[in-house]
Amino acid sequence: MRFSNDFLDEIRDRVPISAVIGARVPWDRKKTNVARGDYWACCPFHGEKSPSFHCEDRKGRYHCFGCGVSGDHFRFLTDLEGLSFPEAVERIADMAGIAMPKVDAREVERDRARTGLQDVMELATLFFQDQLQSAQGAKARAYLRERGLSGRTIETFRLGYAPESRNALKEHLAGKGVPKDQIEACGLVVHGPDIPVSYDRFRDRIMFPILSSRDKVIAFGGRAMSPDAPAKYLNSNETELFHKGSVLYNFSRARRALQGADGATTIIAVEGYMDVIALHQAGIDNAVAPLGTALTENQLDLMWKIVPQPVLCFDGDGAGQRAAFRAVDLALPHLKPGRSVRFAMLPDGKDPDDLVKQDGRAPFDRVLGEARSLDEMVWLRETGQGRFDTPEQRAELEARLKQIVNGIADENVRRHYQQNVRDRLYGFFQGRGRSSGQGQGNGRSGRGNFEGGGGGFADQRSGSNRFGSGAGGRGGGQRTNGQAGAAMAVSDRLARSGMISRNHDQPTLRETVLALTIVNHPQLLQEDYDEISCIDFDSRDLQRLWPAVLTAVAETGAQLTREELEQRLATGGFDGLIKALDQQIRNARLWTATTVAALEDARECYVQALSLYKRAKALRRQKAELEREMAEAVEAGDAERHDSAMGMLREVQLEIVRMENQEAIIDGFGVMSGRVKGPAYGHNS
- What architecture is domain 105-242? Alpha-Beta Complex (3.90)
pLDDT value for 259: 62
Return contacts of 27-34, CB within 8 angstroms, 24+ apart. 30/526, 30/529, 31/529, 31/554, 31/557, 33/529, 33/530, 33/533, 33/550, 33/554
Distance CA(412)–CA(410), nearest Å, equals 6
| Gap between the Cα atoms of 443 and 200, Å rounded | 78
What's the predicted TM-score (pTM) here?
A: 0.56
The helix-helix angle for 540-556 and 562-571 (nearest 10°) equals 130
pLDDT value of position 378: 94
Q: CATH classification of 251-379, choosing from 3.30.565.10, 2.40.50.180, 3.40.50.300, 3.40.1360.10?
A: 3.40.1360.10
CATH of domain 5-96: 3.90.580.10
d(CA 118, CA 425): 55
HSE-CB at 420 with a 13 A cutoff on CA atoms is 19
> Residue ranges of the domains in the chain?
5-96, 105-242, 251-379, 386-496, 509-681
What pLDDT score was predicted for residue 106? 66
**Averages of pLDDT over each 10 residues, the chain, 685 residues:** 78 90 90 88 84 89 86 90 86 89 65 80 96 95 94 96 94 93 93 90 96 90 91 90 92 81 80 92 93 87 87 85 91 92 89 83 91 94 85 91 94 93 87 46 34 40 35 37 38 38 61 89 76 77 84 68 86 87 83 84 81 77 80 80 82 72 41 33 35
pLDDT of residue 632: 79
Whole-number pLDDT of residue 419: 92
Q: Is the fold of 5-96 the same as that of 105-242? A: no
pLDDT at 341: 96
C-alpha 646/C-alpha 289 separation (Å) is 52
CA distance 550 to 533: 7
Give the pLDDT score at 495: 39
